[in-house]
Structure 1
Amino acid sequence: MYESRSEGVITRGRFVVRMFIHVVLAFAFILVSLLCSILGYMWIEEGVKWYDAALNMAMIASGIGPTMLPVTVEGKVFLALYGAYTSVVFVAILGLLMAPILHRILHVFHLDDDANEGNDENQG
């Protein structure tokens, strides 16, 4: 998916497409994680409506915390594990979104290094 060190930097248009793909993948990952957590919370905490579960899971994912505390021990454990999971997801999503940008920056630096090495050989 990414160009190698020997290839040139991709065009701005291709970079925009690459970033769009990464943003879509990030949103898809967030959406699947949120939907699975909503269904899991509704299954563990019986009697919770979907909109209450969605609000609770979205608030935990945003770092604010639950709006309503679970009644069962299983629900409390689920929320604790989901809170830890969202921390890992945050780092993964950040990496997914930053990867194309950092790759492009580092690729430009490597091309500059290769150009300087070629100039040094020609001068010596």
Structure 2
Amino acid sequence: MIKKRNINILSPKEFAKRVITYTVVSLGLLIFSLGIGVLGYHFIGGLDWVDSIYNASMILTGMGPVDEMKTDAAKLFASAYALFSGVVFLSTVAIFFAPFAHRLMHLLRVDDLDEN
């Protein structure tokens, strides 16, 4: 027997609000993470502000380091920031795409598959 189910899909207006909320959270996480990198590269790595932003941006997006770190403290910071950035970048992508994946699962009625 086939059961008819009422699918509770958000209205386009509510969905847009959810997408905006998740986008703001994603951008906030990226800006916070970039700030950590900029401050670390400036104060620990001894780079000027523009080079700090450049290095932190390249690491955060997975492109790799630009400037060589000269002190042991700077090298340790760069290593920790690289590991941190990998996790943050993937988490940010997941947060950003979560509302779209959730809506797609509702549209495809994935929850009905669990009952069979």
Q: 1:111 to 1:40 in 2, by over 3 A?
A: closer
State the one-letter code of the partner of 2:103: R
Structure 1 distance, partners of 2:76, 2:40, is 12
- Residue deviations 1:74-104 (CA, integer Å, cap 9, x gap): 1111111111111101221121012111211
Is 1:41 aligned with 2:66?
no
Please give the TM-score of this superposition, normalised by the length of structure 1.
0.77
Please give the TM-score of this superposition, normalised by the length of structure 2.
0.81
> What's the counterpart of residue 98 of structure 1?
97
Q: Tell me how far 1:106 sits from its aligned partner.
A: 2.0
**Quick check: 1:8–1:111 contact (8 Å CA) kept in 2?**
no
Q: 1:87 to 1:70 in 2, by over 3 A?
A: same
Question: Aligned runs of 1:5-84 on 2, under 5 Å?
Answer: 8-46=8-46, 48-84=47-83
State the one-letter code of the partner of 2:38: I
**Quick check: 1:38–1:50 contact (8 Å CA) kept in 2?**
yes
The alignment covers a number of residue pairs equal to 110
Q: 1:40 to 1:16 in 2, by over 3 A?
A: same
**Quick check: 1:44–1:75 contact (8 Å CA) kept in 2?**
yes
Q: 1:112 to 1:28 in 2, by over 3 A?
A: closer
Please list every run of 5 or more consecutive structure 2 residues that lacks an aligned counterpart in the other structure: 1-5
> Which structure has the greater CA radius of gyration?
1
Please list every run of 5 or more consecutive structure 1 residues that lacks an aligned counterpart in the other structure: 1-5, 118-124
